[in-house]
Structure formats: structure tokens, C-alpha cells
Amino acid sequence: MSPATPVVFIVDDDPSICRSLLRLVRQTGFEGHSYGSAEEFIEVQKGPLMRPACLVVDLQMPGLSGLELQQHLQQGAARCPMIFISGNGDIPSTVRAMKHGAVTFLTKPFDNADLLRAIGEALERHRAELSSDRQVRQVRDRMAELTERELQVMSWVITGALNKQIAAELDIVEKTVKVHRARVLEKMQAQSVAELVRLCSLAGFAAATSGSAVD
Amino acid sequence: MSLITVLWSMASAASLSLAVIHGMVWLSDRKVRAELWFALAALSMSAYPFFDLAMMRAESPEAFGEAARWALVPISLTIASVLLLVHSYFGTGRRWLLVTSLVTRALALGVNLLRPHGLFFESVTSLRKISFLGETVSAPAGEIGHWLWVEHVAALVWTGYFIDASWRLWRVGGGEGRRRVVTIGAGIVLIVTAGLTQASLVVAQVIALPVAVTMSFLLLLIVMGFELSRDVLRAAHLARSLQASEQRFEMAATAARLAPWEWNIATNLIWTTSDGRRIYGIPPDEEVDFQRFTETVHPDDRQAVAVEVERTLLDSTPFAAEYRVVLPDGAERWIAAAGRLERDPSGRPLLLRGVSLDITSRKQSEQELAQQRQDLTHLSRVSMLGELAGTIAHELNQPLAAILSNAQVGHSMIREGKVDLAEIEAIMEDVVSDAKRAGGIIHGMRAMFKKDAVMELQPVDLNDAVNQVCGLLHSEIVVKKARIELDLEEAPPQVMAGRVEIQQVLINLILNSLDAMKAAGSRDARIHISTRSAVGSVILSVRDNGPGIPAEMKARLFEAFVTTKPGGLGLGLAISHGIIRRFEGELSGENPPGGGALFRITLPAV
């Protein structure tokens, strides 16, 4: 399988369930891995996930339960969308799982189509998460190219301030501001100020506020 | 007629009467030998007065000698009879002394008959006329017999026999025996000695009396007859009180609904009361032998009864059996019978004697009670399973989910024409094993829900029971965040029990542990289940690491309606305890060192 093949992790204490779901997942064309307990999964999957992935997890297992695994993963690197399966799903557990971002909750026995649909949704969600991660990294890389002064100018540009106002705030001539603005747009590969604003917000870059400039 | 003739004839008649009366008594009960000997003694005695009269009336010495010679015949017979009478009546005489007495008696008689003039006189030379009871009678005078000493020896021997037998009876006899000694033993010795002494003195011409010993002997007969009639009277009295006591016994037996019976093993006849015949449904006049009795017993119980009878005949321990009897109208009746075997001195079984008791109503209430107990057990099992419905459904959904998923994968493989036969085979294998698993759960559940009319005991492998329960409770245990640790001995002996009931007890113990540990907020809740074989039994232990049995519960652990669970009925352990006791096992609970609670089921091994 190529490194880009989506991967589905199955965590269930019932080996027969694990085998049947692995078959389904592999038949569908995904990479599949199964684990007999939440602890085993945590032990094996430590690194960050670099390709679309999702977890199909049994709600009730000896040791850590599905919900506890969900909690554990929320802070971890191997975070990915989760699908809960259970032979005896109760409403409180379902609510808790969904509140913490579960994709869906299936009651055993379930139709393969339902599970595949949920897996598709989960992978899509993870793919989106992964791509947004990638964009931020790109924006940050571009930002790293900017000089101190260019960053200052950018922080003002995204507030929608005019060159004249920026010049006054930064105590530089308007022409210099114009040059900086052009270079910022070029380095950030933004076609317009509006796109720059989007990139900055994506990367969490804060806009300047009046009086914030120091020099 | 002269007074002497009248008196002596009367004496003869009296003796003859006594002979006839006691002869009749003997004929009616031949076991009483004393009566026979007395009758013979009296019969012999009845002949004697005529010899007495002949001697008194003798006109010539020859006539007197002849009469005296023949008189010794009835006297000897009387004495011999009295000897035999005492021998059987006292039961203490020495046999050799008796034989010696009879032999010397016979010798004396023999010598007497061989001598021409008898034993007493060598020859009677003349007759003296003396006055006796107002008449003139003859008394002998002559040369004393040279052989008279034989008569004296004989007298000495039989007197010795009487004294010896009397003395021995006196020592061992108690009140009744001593009275016999006084009246008969002493009477005989005194009267016979007096009579013979008189005769001897008359013969020796020391005193002037005729040789008339009739009255002495008559007196002896009267004393002995009186003594013997006391026995007859006592026997009659005993018979009356025996009859009264029999009536009392039968009344008591009827009141207690007991039917006494007696099986004479030699004649193979069974006697029982009219109540006994009624209980067994046998007509009043029908003869009953062992075969007939067996026919009344329910065919299913005959074997057990036969085995019990054989055992009793063999080792003599008391007979005891409970069995059903089928009455002629087809109704059944439960009987409890108990009895004891009697053997003859050589050890052969003589008779089996005992009582039967109609226990039908007791059996019925026993059966009703057992039925109610079983209903309650079943009810509690069903309600316990009801509580587990959710987790058991989960347990069932596992294999169903796997089957559905596998089947769909296989189906789409075929639909898409990408059939991988090896994969299809693996799928089918999984489907089969999962279907079996689901079937097993349903089978187990159905067994638990089923209500049997009667609990059937069967050999149960406790390890199997534990494994099945763990399978059923798997989800419940997972939900309760507990762990089961199994420590099962390799192939322990089986136990006689109801499989479902054993599992019910086990489920009850495990759920109790889970609840207790959850209520106590235990982290790392563990339940340790072990099987161990001991001498003649198998022990199944369930131990948890929870808070243990509360102190206030310890004494009342197995009482009904005692519970620590909010909303609990308090029947679980009471019913479990009842179940295990019905299997002749034991259920105990304790707080072992190291914490937690430990419940132990001990069941007898097959």
C-alpha cells in the first residue's frame, strides 16, 4: 500500500469481530490494523498520523473502555476521528462519545454499508484536518521569510489600514510602506489583502492594534 | 363297708382323678412335661391303695408277703415319675444323679420281684392283729429281708437327687423357685421319708401300725398337684393379661397408624393386623407370603425393597425402606417400613418383624414443598437473568455482528467477481464458529429459563459450569470494570448436582461480588474463581477483593430477606444455600485474611 492509503484501526476485545472488520476494511481498499485492547493500541500507535486514518472502537472492553481511549487520545499525537461500535449501547455513553467528537455510534450487529459510510466520513474529516495542518505549516514557513519590519507592516495591513495610516503608526514614510506591502504580498503568495487576512488567521497571526508599535 | 376300705378307695379314686386331669392338661400342651410325669405318678399311685388293703386284710403270712412284694411296683413307678417330674419342673437336677436314682430304683424293684418273699422280708412268719381306725388289721412279723439294704441305697440316692436339685434351685431360683423347693422338694423328702420310715418300722415291728403308706403318698400328690395347678392358674392369668396387652398394643398401633407385621422366613408366611391388610390392599382372609407382598409394591420400587431385604438377611442391621404400594383400584400409597431380623440359635434367619406406616400425606407435602422450593429457585433465576438481559444481549450480539459482517464481505466478493477461495474458507470457518457460539449462549439461556418438573441430578463438571457462566457474564463483568481470574484444577472429579442450579449459584455469587465492589468504588476489582478436589468432594471458591462480608451480616448470611443491596430482596444467598444443601453439599462465606469475601461451595464427588 502506498503511504497515502487511508488506514483504519480496529480496537475490539472480541477477536472474531476484529477479523471480520479487518476483512471488510481491506476488501474496501484501506489498510487495516486490529488491536485486542485500548492499551495495546496506545502502546503501538505513538507517533503522529501522517495520512488519513480513523478508529473503529468497541465501547466496552476489559481495561480501558472505548470512551476512556477517546479521552486519552484527545491530547495525543495519534488523534483521529472515532467510530464507536457496541453490542449494548446506552444513551449516556452515546451522548458522551458524540460530545467528544465521535463520528458516529453503531450498534452491533450493524450493516457493513453503515460502517463503511461512517469510515468514509471519518477519513474525510481526518483528511481535512490533515490538510489544514499542512496549510498552516506552509503559511508559517512563508511568514518565516518576512523581516521584522515586514511583519509589522503585515500586522497593520490585515487591519485594513491605509498606507498613510501605517506610515504614521510606524513613523516611516508612506513610500516605504508601499514597498513593504508589495513584498509581504509577494512573499506570502497572497493575491489580495483579503487572502492575506485569511492566511494570517489560519496561522493564528494577530492583527496589530493602535499603539502597539514600539519604535 | 369299713372306714378303711372307704378311705383307701377314695384315695385311689382321688389319685386317678388327678391323673386324668393332669393327663388332659398335658395332652393340650405337650410342652409341659411336668404334667405328664405328674399324671403318671398319680396313675401309678391310684393302684397302690389296693395293695395296702390287701396287706391289712391278709389272712395268712403268704398272702401278706405276696401283697407286699407286688406293692413295690406302683411305689417304684410313682417314685420314678416324681423323679422325672422334679427333673423337668425344677430344671436344676443333675442328669447323672437322676439316671443313678432310676437305675437303683429299678434294681431294688428287680431284686424285690426275684426274691420269693420280696425285698422286705426274708419270710413272713406270722401275722399280728392290731387295731387301726377302729378295725382289726394285719401287721407282719418275720425275718427282715437280707436285701433290704438295696432299697435303702436306692432311697438314699433319690433322696440325694431331690436334695441336690432343691438346693441348686434354692440358690438360683429367686422367689418362685424357692417356693417350689419348699413345697415340692422338701415335701417329697419329708413325706416319702416319713412313709418309708413308717413302713420300715412296721416291718421291723417297732411300732404297731399297718404298712399303710397310701395316705403319705396321697398327701404328696395333693401338694404337688396344688403346686402344678398354681402354674395352670398363672398361665391362665398370663393369657388374660397378654390378651389385654395385645389389645392395648393394637389400639396404640391403630392410633399411631402403625401396622405391625411379621414374616416367618421358614414358612414364608406374613402375618399383619387388619390395618396392615387395609394399607396394602390385601383382603382379610387371603394368605400372604413374600411374593404376594412384593406384588403390592410399585414396580419401580420393587428392586430397592428386594435389595434392602437381602441386606437385612445378610448383616442383621435393622430393616428400613420407603416405597409405594399400588392398591387394587390403582391408587398409590407411600409406606415406610422398619423392622428387625431374628435368628435361631444356629444363626439362620427365623423371622423379620416390624411395622409399616402410611406416609402418603407426608410424602405429598414433601413433594409440594419441593415443588414450591423449585418454583422459587426458578423464579429467582429468571429474575436474575432478567437483570442481566442487557449484557447477555450484548454477548449474543458479538457473534451476530461478526457473522453479519463476514457474510456481507463474502457476498460482495462474489458479486464483484473477486473470489478468493482461501479467504472465503476462512470467512466460512469464522461464520460457523460464531454461529455455534451464539447457539451456545441461547442454549445456555434456555436451560437457565427452563422450568423442570423435578430437579434431575446428573454428573456435573464444575470447570465446565464455571466456563459457561464466565461466558454468559463476560459483558456484565466488562461493564462493571472487573476482572475474572480463573484457577481451575485440571479435570476435577464430577459432582452429582443440577447443572443449571450450580450455574445459578455461581452467577449469584459473582453478581454479589460485582455489586459489592462497585458499591465500595473498588478500583481494580478482581474475582478469583478456583476449583479444587478434596477427599471425596470438590470445592469451588469465589473470592473477590471487595469490602468483604459486613460484620452485621455474617451470622445471617443465608437467611431469606436479609440484604445489603438497596432494592434487593435478600433471596439470592438463601436460595443458593438451599440449592447446595439439596445436592448434599455446603455453601459457606467468610472474610479471608488479606481482604475481600470468600464463598466456598463444597460438593460430594461422584
> In sequence order, what are the residues at sequence separation of 6 or more whose Cβ sits closer than 8 angstroms to the Cβ of residue B585?
B495, B497, B537, B601, B602, B603, B604
- Below-50 pLDDT ranges, chain A: 1, 212-215
- Asked if pLDDT for residue B257 goes beyond 80, the answer is no
pLDDT at position B96: 92
Of all residues in chain B, the percent with pLDDT exceeding 70 is 98
**How near does any CA of chain B get to the CA of A5, in Å?**
20
Give the residue-averaged pLDDT of B544-566: 83
B473 reaches A (C-beta below 8 A) = no
C-beta contacts of B224-233 below 8 A and 24+ residues apart:
B224/B38, B224/B41, B224/B82, B224/B85, B224/B183, B224/B184, B224/B187, B224/B188, B225/B18, B225/B22, B225/B38, B225/B42, B226/B183, B227/B180, B227/B183, B227/B184, B228/B22, B228/B34, B228/B35, B228/B38, B228/B89, B231/B32, B231/B34, B232/B25
Q: Which residues of A touch B396 (CB under 8 A)?
A: 87
Of all residues in chain B, the percent with pLDDT exceeding 90 is 28
Closest CA to A4 of A52, A49, A55: A52
> Who among B391, B400, B406 is closest to A23 (CB)?
B406
Instruction: Determine whether the interchain pair A13/B478 forms a contact, defined as Cβ–Cβ distance below 8 Å.
Output: yes
Instruction: Determine whether the interchain pair A20/B483 forms a contact, defined as Cβ–Cβ distance below 8 Å.
Output: no
Q: Which residues of A touch B481 (CB under 8 A)?
A: 65
Grid cell for residue A191: 493575491
Instruction: Determine whether the interchain pair A88/B397 forms a contact, defined as Cβ–Cβ distance below 8 Å.
Output: yes
Instruction: Determine whether the interchain pair A60/B405 forms a contact, defined as Cβ–Cβ distance below 8 Å.
Output: no
Give the pLDDT confidence of A6-55 residue by residue, as tens digits.
999 999 999 999 999 999 999 999 999 999 999 999 998 887 788 899 99
**How near does any CA of chain A get to the CA of B474, in Å?**
9
B430 reaches A (C-beta below 8 A) = yes
Closest chain A residue to B480, measured at CA: A62
Q: Which residues of B touch A111 (CB under 8 A)?
A: 404, 408
pLDDT at position A20: 94
- Asked if pLDDT for residue B562 goes beyond 80, the answer is no
Closest CA to A13 of B475, B151, B239: B475
> Could you tell me which residue, B96 or B568, shows the higher pLDDT?
B96
Give the residue-averaged pLDDT of B419-429: 91
Q: Which residues of B touch A61 (CB under 8 A)?
A: 478
> Could you tell me which residue, B481 or B488, shows the higher pLDDT?
B488
pLDDT at position B567: 66
- Asked if pLDDT for residue B109 goes beyond 70, the answer is yes
pLDDT at position A213: 46
Q: Which residues of A touch B401 (CB under 8 A)?
A: 17, 20, 85, 87, 108-110
> In sequence order, what are the residues at sequence separation of 6 or more whose Cβ sits closer than 8 angstroms to the Cβ of residue B414?
none
Map out the domains of chain A with their CATH numbers. Answer: 7-135 (3.40.50.2300), 146-203 (1.10.10.10)
Q: Which residues of A touch B403 (CB under 8 A)?
A: 20, 109
pLDDT at position A26: 92
pLDDT at position B453: 61
Question: Could you tell me how many CB contacts below 8 A there are between chain A and chain B?
Answer: 84
- Name the average pLDDT for chain B: 86
Confidence label for B4 from pLDDT (cuts 50, 70 and 90):
confident
Give the pLDDT confidence of B379-392 residue by residue, as tens digits.
888 888 888 888 88
Give the residue-averaged pLDDT of B77-101: 89
- Tell me B182's DSSP state: I
**How near does any CA of chain B get to the CA of A101, in Å?**
22
A24 reaches B (C-beta below 8 A) = yes
Give the residue-averaged pLDDT of B418-435: 92
pLDDT at position B1: 65
Q: Verify cis geometry, omega within 30 degrees of 0, for the bond prior to A109.
A: yes
Lowest-confidence region among A70-84, A94-108, B177-191, B592-606: B177-191
Map out the domains of chain B with their CATH numbers. Answer: 3-236 (1.20.1070), 256-358 (3.30.450.20), 368-453 (1.10.287.130), 455-606 (3.30.565.10)
Give the residue-averaged pLDDT of B269-298: 90
pLDDT at position A215: 43
pLDDT at position A214: 44
